[in-house]
């Protein structure tokens, strides 16, 4: 087993308390275990301006579909009925004994 020492200087008290809390919450025995869990679980995603604009445009386009779908979907069956029917179909396919 490889043992190493981690020295952290000039860490504000509130940050140290937060790290200690995380260490307990995540069930880590050592600071190294905590670092490994944090590294494995906290991958950062970097978005550039063009990606943000593309996402906003996609959301706006999706939201614009609402009135169109509402105006064209009139009468029976309702959207809720179709959703339930779809779920029953999915469940029947996944469970051949149903």
pLDDT digits (tens, 9 = 90+) for 20-34: 888 898 898 888 888
pLDDT digits (tens, 9 = 90+) for 45-98: 677 888 889 989 988 888 888 777 777 666 677 777 778 888 887 777 766 665
Q: How many residues does the chain have?
A: 98
Q: Is the pTM higher than 0.85?
A: no
User: Has residue 22 been placed in a domain?
Assistant: yes
Mark whether 86 and 69 lie in a shared domain: yes
Mark whether 23 and 38 lie in a shared domain: yes
Mark whether 30 and 58 lie in a shared domain: no
Look up the domain containing 19 and give its range: 15-43
Mark whether 60 and 37 lie in a shared domain: no
Mark whether 56 and 85 lie in a shared domain: yes
Check if the beta carbon of residue 31 is closer than 8 Å to that of residue 6: yes
Mark whether 38 and 61 lie in a shared domain: no
End-to-end CA distance of the chain: 53
Q: 1 pLDDT band (50/70/90 cuts)? A: low
| Total domain count, the chain | 2
Tell me, what's the pLDDT at 78?
Answer: 72
């Amino acid at each position: 087993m490889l043992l190493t020492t981690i020295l952290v200087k000039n860490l504000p008290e509130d940050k140290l308390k937060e790290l200690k809390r995380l260490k307990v919450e995540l069930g880590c025995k050592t600071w190294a275990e905590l670092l490994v869990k944090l590294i494995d679980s906290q991958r950062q995603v970097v978005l550039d301006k063009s990606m943000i604009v593309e996402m906003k445009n996609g959301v706006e386009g999706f939201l614009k579909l609402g009135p169109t779908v509402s105006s064209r979907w009139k009468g029976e069956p309702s959207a809720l009925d179709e959703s339930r029917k779809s779920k029953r179909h999915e469940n029947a396919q996944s469970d051949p004994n149903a």
